[in-house]
A and B are shown apart, each in its own frame.
Chain A
Amino acid sequence: MTDAATAPPTILILDDEELVITSLQTFLDLETPYRTVTFTSAKLALQHIRDHDIDLVISDYLMPEMDGITFLSQVRELKPDIPRIILTGYADKENAIKAINQVGLFQYIEKPWENEDLRVIVRNGLEKMQLLKKLQMKVQEITQAHAELNTLNQEIIRAFA
């Protein structure tokens, strides 16, 4: 992450079904430059996120251990900057959309998905991530400059006061 240009972005995939994981992982591995890590357990996934740099998270919605919304909200608590994508079936679309607003997801992908759509969404997510990082850096710089200016201003006011 620190060196985005050199290292490929890592995408974490959480689904209770190996079937879906395999499809997603195969596609991303074959057709994109991104690295993937996959989990069928939300806990293990959270653990991994805590310990490693992850650039994007894709999670299924309905899972026995922990639903996708809960999982992704915990991901946000851990690392708010990571773009979070949820994979939903038709039945929970509405809830999913609500959840998107509640927990601030980047996007949702409806099953069955088009691989091309997936690729675009993932890429956009990663770009958004990188843009956000850059923006944060700029904001930080501005904030710092602003603080310095503010300090300077104070000194000037004090000097002229």
Chain B
Amino acid sequence: MRPMQNDPHITLDTAAMFRAVLDTVGEGIVTIDSASTIVVVNKEVQHIWGYTQDELIGKKIELLMPENYRKRHAEGLKRFIDTGVPRIMGTRLELEGLRKDGTIFPLEIRMAETTVSDRILFTAAVRDVTDRKTGEAALQRRHHIEDLIAAISTKFINLPSNEIDAGIIDALRMIGELTGVDRSWVALLCDKKLTLCFTHEWCAEGISLTHSDLQPISVKEIPWAMNQFRQVKTIYIPKVVDLPPEAKTEKKHLQAYEVQSVIMVPIVYRRALMGIVSFDSVRFEKTWTTDDMALLRITGEIFANALERKETEEAMECLMRRNELILSSAGEGIYGVDLQGNTTFANPEAARMLGCTVEELIGKPQHATLHHTKPDGTPYPREDCPIYKAVQDGTIHHIEDDVFWRKDGTNFPVSYTSTPIREDREIVGAVVTFKDITERKREQAVLEHSISLLSATLDSTTDGILVADRAGRIVNYNQKFMDMWGLSTVVPTNQDHWQLMTTVFDQLKDPVSFAQRLKDIYAEPDAESCDVIEFTDGRVFERFTQPQRIGGKSVGRVWCLRDATARKRAEEALQQANNELEQKVEARTRELRQKQAQLVQAEKMASLGQLVAGVAHEINTPLGALKSNIDIFTRSVQKIKELMRDPKIPQELRESPDITKRLTSVETLNTHNQTAIDRIVMIVSSLRKFARLDEAELDEVDIHEGLDNTLILVQHELKNRIEVVKDYGKLPLVKCYPNQLNQVFMNLLVNASHAIESQGKIYIHTSHKNGTIVVEIRDTGKGISQKDLQRIFDPGYTTKGFGVGTGLGLSIVYQIMKDHKGMIDVESELGQGTTFRIILPMT
């Protein structure tokens, strides 16, 4: 502008061009004089302030300034005029302007002074920087937000879990204040995600309605909102009144709290909806910038992380508390050891077992405290301690049988496990768990005793024993079993014992039935059985088996083999001896029975003899009288006939045919009487002679007389159907028991007559040669079968029907012949007849 004033060639055209330039400049140009009166303005000033040029020319510049700048301007202008020292010339200042409409706006101003015609003029180029300022504010706000987020995030990271709730409320406040909302709150899904519970809330001052006492809302009531939350969508409702009909429940709830605008952000952790964070505007309808919305979303994430951390930490704490509880209540003693071997912690049970307090253990070298001496009393070098080894080699050491020492110097048996503790792969110590095994050792001792007893029993028993489980695997066996089975090698347990059994198949007499028997037994797990196994080499085993039971349940099977060879042989020998004895007894019995039969027979004969004697006597009396009388009759008839020849008797009487005839008849009949009585007398005589009771001792006997007497007695058997043919040779007298011999004849003759069913003959042949008498009695009867022939001399053997024969006859015959040192033999042919031959020695 200075050249304008100095150039005389400036024309009006120049002034016009100046004006045009002035008006096209993008800045507002205001020129004032030293009295602050506006002398020039361009069009841009009109845009900026809203005044026309006319309204401004001649007016004081203060018109365009807010009140607080006017005094400052006046002071600065005066100072410049007085001193000539400009304060603000040439520099850009940011000030504020006052528009015609009364609004204040930021402006940037640059000023310059000119002197025209001795008048000092001040020109200012002004730019409305409202836009620029707004952008700056937004940027700044964004910085705020970022700072806030960073602050909140950092805060939550360092916040202990028990302060997280307070932290959330604080964050709600900060965000609420920043975003200018009236209320911000958090609701979390609970009750298996079925309800929304209001957990955290902040309200701006003056907002009285709070959610803190609100009942949980069922998620079913708000499907519209829940649906979007589940899709991790932020719900932005600029105007609650405009909510769609499907969100009527949501609308009702929001309006109940006078909410006009709201942003609700889902809190999602690992894709699972945890709850929502909400920012309500109550006092007016509010719009949010995208930055705000981003902030709110991030807030949701932060909350999600914080809440999750809270939950995790609470769970962890719970776990820790539980661990602690376990540690203190465990039946096992537990203590920790650090790298130096000092006890770091111990549970009460450990202290109790060691007879001290937990405090007394902690910080002390554990080895020296409780593990200093071996069970045998020798010192336990620390280097050998497995508890430290766990620390050194990083592996778990488990010791079944050791001792720990109590504070009072006593010890107790323990089993313990030392497990290295690692932190970030570095071994930092070990935890030792131990158990007092006094009771277990006692039980073990009892068990060992039982087992050793069992084992000794197994080894000392003469039986071979094999135990198999249900699957047939070998559980146990004794050496004896292997010896008996002929197996020299050691058979591993767990092997299928079926194989073992089959190894002897080729040694068995009957392997097929043995195998079948085994299968049968396996088919019945509860079966007990006993069998005899015979080997081809003559050995005999008894095999017992019974199931092994635990509590009534079959868990396996015990096989027991007993070598019964010796016993079997003894039994066989015994059996043989028995058989022989039985045979002897049988023979003796037969002999005795024959003797008995003979005795019975003798008794019978004696009785018969007595009977015969009695009968003979009784008969003989009347017989005597009869015989005598008949004789008298004969004599009398004879006498009468003599008397009748007396000539003194008249002839007609003498020769009367009546008398003669009668006398002749009496004579004839009397002759018959004589014959009859003689026969009776002979029978009775034969009877008593047969019985020969008076000749029971050895006697010289005429065999033929015995035969004849017997024939007389069996005459009734023979009658007319059987013809007896006698062929008697010349026999000397024989020394014998006549009554017994007669008994033999009687039996043979009766049998012969029985053998002849109708007509037939009996041949009796006697002879003697070489000092023996032979009597043959042959019949033409039905004969005897070969089978019967072998047994006819056995006592009690009969082919006659019950009640017909006693079955003693021939056995008695046999015995009598034996007693006479004689013999009897028999020949027979069925249908042809039988011949009995008795041979008697003559001496």
Contact = CB atoms under 8 A, between A and B. Distances in A.
Interface string A26-40: 110011000000000
Given A89-B616, A112-B626, A23 B621 contact: no
B650 interface: no
Nearest to B617: A89
A118 B635 CA distance: 15
Nearest to A90: B616
Given A90-B688, A94-B694, A62 B617 contact: yes
B127 to A, nearest CB: 193
Given A91-B616, A113-B627, A17 B694 contact: no
Given A90-B688, A115-B632, A23 B616 contact: no
Nearest to A31: B635
A93 B620 CA distance: 12
Nearest to A115: B631
A103 interface: no
A145 interface: no
A112 B631 contact: no
A19 B621 contact: yes
A93 B616 CA distance: 12
B681 A112 contact: yes
B626 A93 contact: no
Nearest to B687: A90
Contacts of B614: 91
Nearest to A87: B624
Given A90-B688, A91-B613, A91-B614, A27 B621 contact: no
Contacts of A113: 624, 627-628
A110 B688 CA distance: 14
Nearest to B636: A30
A25 to B, nearest CB: 10
A93 B694 CA distance: 9
Contacts of A30: 632, 635-636, 639
Interface in A117-152: 118
A27 B694 contact: no
Nearest to B615: A91
Given A23-B629, A26-B632, A30-B636, A112 B623 contact: yes
Interface string A84-118: 00010111111000000000000000111111101
Interface string A4-23: 00000000000001011011
A110 to B, nearest CB: 8
Nearest to A24: B628
B625 interface: yes
Given A19-B625, A24-B628, A94-B694, A112 B617 contact: no
Given A23-B632, A31-B635, A112 B616 contact: no
A112 to B, nearest CB: 4
Contacts of A92: 617
Q: How large is the interface on B (under 10, 10 to 19, 20 to 34, 35 or more residues)?
A: 20 to 34
B647 interface: no
Q: Which of B616, B622, B625, B677 has the most CB of A within 10 A?
A: B625
Nearest to B680: A112
A23 B625 contact: yes
A111 B623 contact: yes
Contacts of A87: 624
Contacts of A110: 620
A87 B620 CA distance: 11
Contacts of A111: 617, 620-621, 623-624
Q: How large is the interface on A (under 10, 10 to 19, 20 to 34, 35 or more residues)?
A: 20 to 34
Interface in B596-644: 613-614, 616-618, 620-629, 631-632, 635-636, 639
B327 to A, nearest CB: 126
A40 to B, nearest CB: 13
A20 B621 contact: yes
A17 B631 CA distance: 19
A23 B635 contact: no
B459 to A, nearest CB: 88
Contact of B628 (A23, A62, A91, A94): A23
A112 B694 contact: no
Nearest to B623: A112
Contacts of B624: 20, 23, 87, 111-113
B613 A112 contact: no
Contacts of B636: 30
Nearest to A26: B632
B683 to A, nearest CB: 12
A89 B625 contact: no
Contacts of B622: 19
Contacts of A90: 613, 616-617, 620, 684-685, 688
Nearest to B639: A30
Contacts of A91: 613-614, 616-617, 688
Contacts of A20: 621, 624-625
Interface string B555-585: 0000000000000000000000000000000
A27 B617 contact: no
B632 A27 contact: yes
B301 to A, nearest CB: 152
A137 B613 CA distance: 45
A111 B684 CA distance: 11
A100 to B, nearest CB: 16
Contacts of A94: 694
B687 to A, nearest CB: 9
Contacts of B617: 62, 89-92, 111
Nearest to A94: B694
A115 B616 contact: no
Contacts of A89: 613, 616-618, 620-621
Contacts of B681: 112
A89 B624 CA distance: 9
Nearest to A92: B617
A23 B623 CA distance: 11
A19 B613 CA distance: 20
Given A26-B632, A89-B617, A112 B688 contact: no
Contacts of B621: 17, 19-20, 89, 111
A17 B626 CA distance: 13
A27 B620 contact: no
A14 B639 CA distance: 28
B628 A112 contact: yes
A87 B621 CA distance: 10
Contacts of B627: 112-114
A146 B653 CA distance: 67
A111 B622 CA distance: 9
Contacts of A62: 617
Contacts of A24: 628
B122 to A, nearest CB: 208
A114 B631 CA distance: 8
Nearest to B689: A90
Given A17-B621, A111-B623, A27 B613 contact: no
B106 to A, nearest CB: 188
Nearest to B627: A112
Contacts of A27: 628, 631-632
B630 to A, nearest CB: 9
A90 B692 CA distance: 11
A109 to B, nearest CB: 9
Nearest to B613: A91
A116 B632 CA distance: 10
Contacts of A22: 625
B606 to A, nearest CB: 13
A23 B694 CA distance: 29
A64 to B, nearest CB: 13
Contacts of B688: 90-91
B620 A115 contact: no
Contacts of A114: 627, 631
Contacts of B628: 23-24, 27, 112-113, 115, 118
8 contacts: A19-B621, A22-B625, A90-B616, A90-B617, A91-B614, A112-B623, A112-B681, A113-B627
Among all A-B residue pairs, the 9 with the closest Cβ atoms: A89-B617, A91-B613, A111-B624, A111-B620, A112-B624, A23-B628, A112-B627, A23-B625, A112-B623
